[in-house]
Amino acid sequence: MKLAVVILAAGQGKRMKSDLPKVLQPLAGVPLLGHVVSRARTLNPSSMHVVYGHGGDAVRTALAKEDPPKADLKWALQAEQLGTGHAVMQAMPNVADDELVLVLYGDVPLIRAETLRQLIDAAGAKAMSLLTVMLENPTGYGRIVRKRGAIQKIVEQKDASPAQLRIREGNSGIMAVPAKLLRRWLGRLRNANAQGEYYLTDVIAMAVKDKVKVTPLIAPTLAEVLGVNDKAQLAELEAMHRAERARELMVAGATLADPARIDVRGEVSLGRDVFIDANVLLEGKVTLGDRVRVGPNTVLRDVSIGADTVIHPNSVLEQSELGAGCVIGPYARVRPGSKLGQNVHVGNFVELKKTVIADGSKANHLTYLGDAIIGKGVNIGAGTITCNYDGVNKSTTTIEDGAFIGSGNMLVAPVRVGKNATTGAGSTITREAPDGQLTISRARQISLEGWKRPEKKPK
């Protein structure tokens, strides 16, 4: 059967105490709903429907900002919050009868694709499946009522008897149901319950009555079915997510100095024998080659780092590419658009922006290189700045192979320093420095006899 995914994302989330809709609260830098949508896409559904309500415009706008943008979502408005059954009703006009409907929740972000595939496989044209969870404390969950092992119905917390409240198997709300049957059952829903809502869970009893097979699947982990109702629960899920991502890195072969102090917010590709120290943030698409070492308190965002490169502590690298054998930091910043060759050194308090540095070149201390093209074997002295911005335009500084830039240089772009050229310390270079020559640009040094430093008047 074709698969239709329906994601319920209309809740207000009052307990969040936030102007941001609940499904847009961030987990690992991504809205809760974004995690669910991404996971659903891995199932290759024929259609995806998001039922939205509170903060609807903000929800739609946030999902429209995906990079790259995607147009596979169909939106259904739930203007009144009348329960989960009512929410699914809003999406059904755009769901075909020959589809299998997978119901997900926009505030349950850690559900795994493997679990969902098992749930889908357990359903069919004349059978449905339901994801349940075993809980030490099931308070707040609908209880799974079984008879001789078979599911009979789901009873919500507020409608449960004392005996039913002792049941530890809870309802996750996630289910796979053939659309034709679901449409029929939704039409029978009534709101005669403590909440005055149309419960989606009531379709279970209807399926049993109609002799439709209901296959339960117990979730492998609690984290997969946990929802978010307040900031404390959001923090708990964040910790679970961090732990799972850290485990993935270690299974892939990385050595983590402290698995509890790493934050992975994207897609990471690893070579062999990678070492990552404490308090490292990996965001976006990050590629780490063989034997890369990442020092503590480092941020790597959308970067590719070649084999045997060492990132010293407290460095920030983003949207850049580094070759093999580089040495970066400590306290270095490599900004977007930079590309480093092999064995490049970018030292402490050095900042790069949209700069290309060829093999073997070094900028070891207290330097800003922006909009620069730097050749092979170049040495950049401490305190050097490429003056690339005149207030309106950005201009390029070109430094050819083998050049030696003296300390404290101001290179006023656009300017070229020639091959094997040398510039004297303290120079301001505004015109081309010729190949192989020493270029010096300094004011004449003088000493004034009889000059006295100003003194403060006694109080």
DSSP 157-190: GGG--HHHHT--EEEEEEEEEEHHHHHHHHHH--
Instruction: Give yes or no: 365 in active site.
Output: yes
Length reported for the chain: 459
Q: Which residues contact 19 (CB under 8 A, 6 or more apart)?
A: none
- Write 346-355 long-range contacts (CB < 8 A, 24+): 348/312, 352/320
Name which of 417, 411, 413, 416 is nearest 429 in CA terms.
411
Are 333 and 344 a contacting pair, CB within 8 Å? Answer: no
**Distance (Å, whole) CA 202 – CA 169:** 17
Are 405 and 387 a contacting pair, CB within 8 Å? Answer: no
Q: Which residues pair with 275 in a beta bridge?
A: 255, 293
User: Residue 341 in 3-state DSSP?
Assistant: coil
**Distance (Å, whole) CA 119 – CA 399:** 60
**Distance (Å, whole) CA 364 – CA 345:** 6
Q: Catalytic one among 35, 54, 312, 365?
A: 365
**Residues involved in catalysis:** 365
